[in-house]
Structure 1
């Protein structure tokens, strides 16, 4: 980890609509910005994160981008916590 490491990083994974939501004709309420870790909720509410993963992102890609670097640092003596919700 570098001397300018950010103490907390946030990754967002967008989940697909579940079957009930599809049956109720719900629609996606946010959109991503291509190649940017940012989402827009509604028409004009942007939020920026360290990582944004689309619905179709494979689990391994999420792990390699956001968790693996923490494990690498952990084995070099740094602390790390992953909280998934």
Structure 2
């Protein structure tokens, strides 16, 4: 499990919520998922160069939890079934989307969270026939 033994930092930008849309908030973030880069521009200073950050993975507002689970969480679940330890640590300020990613929403099914997906995976693997 050489690839799974390291710490990986993944960033996800959640979609704007209703309040943000009503306030006509501007998205100052862009992502290049292929490069796992996040670019932030300063709306108060359009001439300022944007800040660029690189992660092990990046998911923009159009991402679905289904893909994040397949890319990031499922390999950890597989490792746990083989006896390895695995942790997903959701970190960020209030309202940034931790619960959206970890718990998810019921509809659409592609946005069910990592936790219910993990439970379902273990149920399938360990339910008695």
TM-based fold match above 0.5: yes
SS at the partner of 1:52? strand
**Structure 1 residues 41 and 18: alpha-carbon distance in aligned structure 2, compared to 1, 3 A threshold:** same
By percentage of residues, which structure has more helix? Answer: 2
Alignment of 1:3-82 (within 5 A): 5-6=5-6, 8-42=7-41, 43-82=49-88
CA distance in 1, matches of 2:59, 2:40: 15
Q: RMSD in angstroms over aligned alpha carbons?
A: 1.8
The structural deviation recorded for 1:3 is 6.9
Structure 2 Cα separation of the partners of residues 22 and 71 of structure 1 = 36
| Runs of 4+ more than 3 Å apart | none
Consecutive unaligned residues of structure 2, counting only runs of 5 or more, are 42-48, 91-97, 99-129
Task: Measure the CA separation in 1 of the matches of 2:30 and 2:4.
Answer: 30
Name the one with the larger strand percent.
Answer: 1
Q: Deviations over 1:7-56 (max 9, x none)?
A: x1111111111111112121101101251111001142111111111212
